[in-house]
Each structure stands twice: as structure tokens, then as C-alpha cells.
């Protein structure tokens, strides 16, 4: 009877120890999981900041040169500038910043900027945010060991001189130039504050 009692006590003690160890491991696992989540959020914030920096820098260079062309010869001259220099400038910024930078659109002017079906998902996500009166936020996607950053390109009044309503906003000379330079142009008919497309920046993933 005494032996049985001792065995019961030992068994009870082992059960209590097992429960305590299990609880401790569960608590430790939760802390590790929370730490991993925090680290993931922090890393995402870094990539979002980098992507925004690269997009802003490239937009600044393109915008500066475009305004210079606009002042020099108006929308028609600016259109010719875009045709000859926009992609080379974007490519040079890719090399300079050591990332892959591209402008994409579901209604491209240059067919080389045509968004893929996957890229269109992000453009549509930006359109949905805008339609819901939400802040249009950049999107981060991790794929094939790379970080893909997407940021919306939103039209303003200056854009409409070459991308607005053909009958209302575009000069006759611009319409003729478009027909000559971009016979398959789709990038017209916009109003202010619409999603024109997106920046797509591909960065190496830092382990």
C-alpha cells in the first residue's frame, strides 16, 4: 500500500513536471513566433523604404527632364523626348541604383511597358484602393528569391497634355505625333487622379 502511494506520488510529480515543461515550451514557441513576425515586419519596412526611394529617384529624374522638354517645345516636343529618352533613362537609373526598375501599365503607350497578367493584379489593386477612397499604398511581393516592389503611378494635370481626352485635352499636333510615334497607343482618355500604371522594382533579397 505504501509502495503504491509512493508510485502514485512519483507519477503525479512526473505529470506536473511534464505539464510545466510543456507550458514553458509553448510560451517559448509563442515568443519565438512573435519575434519572427516582428523581424519580418521590420524587414518588409526596409524593403518598402528602399523601393519607395528608388521609385522616387527615378520619377524625379524623368520628371525633371520631361518638364525641361515641355518648357523647350511644349507637349509635342515632350512626347518626342519620352519616345527617345524615357526607357534609356529608366534603364540608366536601374544600373545606377543596382536594381531592376520598370514602368508598367495596363494601357501602355510603349508596348515594352505592357503589364503582364500578374503585374495587372497589382495595378487593379491600386485602382480598387483609389475607388474606395483609401490611401494608395505600395505592395511588396517575395518571389523566386527576389523582392518585388510595386508603387502606383497616378495622373495629374500635366499628364493630361499627352494622356488626357483626345478631343478635349490633346493638342492636334500631339494627336498627330502620337499616331506617328505610337500607332498602337492605348494611353489616352485619362483624367486627373487615375491609376496610369505602376513602378515595378526588383531587389535582391538579403538573407
| pLDDT digit string, tens, across residues 25-55 | 666 555 545 544 544 457 899 999 999 999 9
Give the mean model confidence (pLDDT) for residues 10-30: 66
| Amino acid 33: pLDDT | 56
Q: How do residues 143-195 score in pLDDT, each as one tens digit?
A: 989 999 999 999 999 999 999 999 999 999 999 999 999 999 999 999 999 99
Residue 181's pLDDT is 96
* Lowest-pLDDT choice from 2-11, 41-50, 87-96, 142-151: 2-11
For residue 173 the three cell numbers come to 499636333
Cell of 142: 517575395
pLDDT interval class at 16 (50, 70, 90): confident
Is residue 136 over pLDDT 60?
Answer: yes
> Per-residue pLDDT tens for 63-72?
999 999 999 9
- The confidence score (pLDDT) of residue 171 equals 94
Quick: pLDDT tens for 96-127.
999 999 999 999 999 999 999 999 999 999 99
Q: What is the pTM of this model?
A: 0.80
Q: Which of 193, 195, 175 is nearest to 185 (CA)?
A: 175
Closest listed residue to residue 139, CA positions, set 55, 26, 25: 55
> What are the b/e assignments for 70-108, b being 16+ CB within 10 Å?
beeeebbbbbebbbeebeebbeebbeebebbbbbbbbbb
Average pLDDT, the chain: 88
Contacts of 165 by beta carbon, 8 Å cutoff, 6+ apart: 188, 189, 191
In this predicted model, which residue has the larger pLDDT, 91 or 3? 91
What's residue 206's pLDDT? 72
Residue 158 confidence (pLDDT): 92
**Is the predicted pLDDT of residue 3 greater than 90, yes or no?**
no
Amino acid at each position: 500500500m505504501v509502495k503504491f502511494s509512493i508510485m502514485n506520488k512519483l507519477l503525479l510529480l512526473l505529470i506536473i513536471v511534464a505539464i510545466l515543461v510543456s507550458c514553458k515550451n509553448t510560451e517559448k514557441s509563442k515568443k519565438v513566433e512573435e519575434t519572427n513576425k516582428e523581424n519580418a515586419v521590420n524587414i518588409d519596412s526596409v524593403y518598402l523604404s528602399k523601393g519607395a526611394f528608388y521609385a522616387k529617384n527615378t520619377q524625379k529624374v524623368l520628371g525633371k527632364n520631361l518638364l525641361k522638354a515641355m518648357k523647350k517645345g511644349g507637349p509635342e516636343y515632350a512626347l518626342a523626348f519620352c519616345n527617345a529618352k524615357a526607357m534609356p533613362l529608366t534603364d540608366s537609373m536601374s544600373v545606377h541604383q543596382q536594381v531592376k526598375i520598370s514602368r508598367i501599365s495596363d494601357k501602355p503607350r510603349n508596348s515594352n511597358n505592357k503589364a503582364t497578367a500578374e503585374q495587372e493584379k497589382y495595378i487593379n489593386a491600386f485602382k480598387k484602393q483609389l475607388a474606395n477612397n483609401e490611401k494608395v499604398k505600395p505592395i511588396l511581393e517575395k518571389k523566386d528569391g527576389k523582392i518585388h516592389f510595386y508603387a502606383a503611378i497616378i495622373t495629374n494635370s500635366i499628364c493630361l497634355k499627352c494622356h488626357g481626352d483626345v478631343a478635349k485635352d490633346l493638342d492636334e499636333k500631339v494627336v498627330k505625333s502620337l499616331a506617328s510615334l505610337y500607332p498602337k497607343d492605348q494611353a489616352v482618355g485619362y483624367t486627373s487622379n487615375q491609376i496610369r500604371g505602376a513602378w515595378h522594382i526588383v531587389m535582391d533579397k538579403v538573407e
